[in-house]
Each structure stands twice: as structure tokens, then as C-alpha cells.
Amino acid sequence: MERIAVIGLGAMGAPIARRLLANGRRITVWNRSPQRAAALRETGAAVGSSPADAARGAEAVIVMVADPQALLAVTEGEHGIAAGVGPEAVVVQMSTVSPSSVTRLAKALPAGTGLLDAPVLGSVAEAASGGLRILVGGPQALVERCSPLLEQLGSPLHVGELGAGTAAKLVANNALFGVLGVLGESLALGGALGLSWESLHEVLGVTPLAEQAARRRGAIEAGVHPARFALALARKDADLVADAVGDGRPGLGLTAAVRDWLSDAERAGRGGQDYSAVLTHILHTATKGPRR
């Protein structure tokens, strides 16, 4: 696969396109904001006038957009990917969306067009370096066909048939959010019970939360959370989990609680910060700031 279209040039799509260009692929890009596409043109990419135009003639179409609504906007309609992609091509859907979005996309594509759902674990640095973990759903033969392309972006893990990649990404993100929720509340509990900030971290250092507590400590103390993964997007993903399983699903009380924390933090103005800012929000809410 040499002719690749990349649809969506946000924080992840742009470095993916640049990496493929650096590896000798012929890249055509499209983005809702033309300025980002223009920046890629300067590095050698062609720019499509629409998602359909970018997809026309491509052997693979990589889609990396923000949410299910954005996926619908770039795939359907007279200017959408489905209107331009050929039956011999493969669409590689890498956005974090809902399982139902993948099902709808499969129905929208022309007969014969391949489809993989392949969301990723990792952020901008990993996208630029080729260090993403790619959770791939789809037929084995199609995964093998696309493996050389995916391996330029990271390490593919085939987790099942179409839709399994999206399910796996929601599970992985749910685990990440849960860890932060437990960490935040543990920090708040320690403060409420009178432990010093230093002693609290010494205690957490001998628990399963040790690595995360050490990793997040500096950002909490500085009150600065540069966005690798924006909190607003994390809240969106938490909503996707809730929508996929239902808010009242027995046994997922922690999932619902962490979703509430993320929503509260976003309403408090932290949506543009890193999702780990939920820790500072929990502390400020529960203890009015960390004890030192």
C-alpha cells in the first residue's frame, strides 16, 4: 500500500500523516480546517478538496477524528469517504468512537471495500515516533494485508472481528480513568484523615497505585497539566462507555463515578487540560487542595 489518504489532521492525525510521508508513502490529506492541511502540503502531501476526493484512488484511508459525529460527517453524504473510496481499498478507522458507529460505517461503505477498526493507545509523541499500540478489529486476512502500513505507526494487536478494536479501546480507557479516579480519591482520603502529603505518597508507593502516584505527583503539586490527552476527550470516551453498556448496568459503579468526576472537572473549566487534571479537581473538591 503506497497511496494513503489521511482524514483528520488533529493532534494525532497530523503526526500520523507526517510519519507515513517520512516512510515514503504517497499521502493525500483532508481536514475540516484547511490550515492544517496546508501545513502538510508543505511537507509533500497532496490535499483533497473533500474526504471523498482524498479517498479517491487511495489504497488505504486512515480516519482519525474526534468523535462519532465527526466520523459520520466525514464518511457519509456526497462529499464523504464512502462516496469516493473504491471497492479495492481499505478504510482504517482509528478514531475512538462507539461500537454502533463502526457498524454504521460498515454499512455505508461500497460493497467490497475493506474496513478495520483500529483505535490506538498513545498520544502525540507515540504517533510521531511510531510507538502507538494499535487495537485492531477485522478479518485476519485484512489485518495481515494492512500490517505493513500499521507497523509503521506502531504495534498492532489483533483483538477480534470488526468492532473488537473499538470495544478494546473503550475497555482500555475505562481502566485508565478508573485508576485515576481511585488515585484521586485515595489522595483526598489521606488528606481528610490527616496524613501529610509526603507520608501519603510514601504509603501509596507500596500499593498498586505506586507508579501512577509518582508519575502524577509533580503535575498535581505544580497545578499544571499540559494536554497529551485532553480531559474533554476523556469525558467523551467515558460517555461512549456509558452509552455502549447503559448507565444502569450492574457492576459498573466505579465507571459511572469516574465519568461524573470527568464531567465535573470539565464543567470547572479543565476540559482543555490533560485528563490527569481530574486528580487536581478531585483534591480541590474534596480537600480544598493537597496537604504538604
SS3 state of residue 172: helix
| Residues 1, 60: Cα–Cα separation, whole Å | 7
Q: Are strands 46-47 and 60-63 parallel, antiparallel or unpaired?
A: unpaired
169 is catalytic: yes
Q: If you search the block for the grid coordinates 466525514, which residue do you land on? A: 74
Residue 61 and residue 38 in contact, taking contact as beta carbons nearer than 8 Å: no
Q: Are strands 120-121 and 26-30 parallel, antiparallel or unpaired?
A: unpaired
Taking CA atoms, 256 is separated from 42, 60, 142, 245, in Å, by: 45, 37, 36, 11
Residue 129: count of CB within 10 angstroms of its CB = 13
What b/e string do you get for 205-226 counting C-beta neighbours within 10 Å, with b at 16 or more?
Answer: eeeebeebbeebbebbeeeebe
Spatial CA neighbour of 117 closest among 129, 128, 133, 103: 103
Spatial CA neighbour of 286 closest among 179, 181, 174: 181
| Residues 103, 171: Cα–Cα separation, whole Å | 18
Residue 23 and residue 130 in contact, taking contact as beta carbons nearer than 8 Å: no
Q: Which of 107, 169, 236, 288 is catalytic?
A: 169
Taking CA atoms, 144 is separated from 111, 112, 155, in Å, by: 20, 17, 13
Q: Which residues have a catalytic role annotated?
A: 169
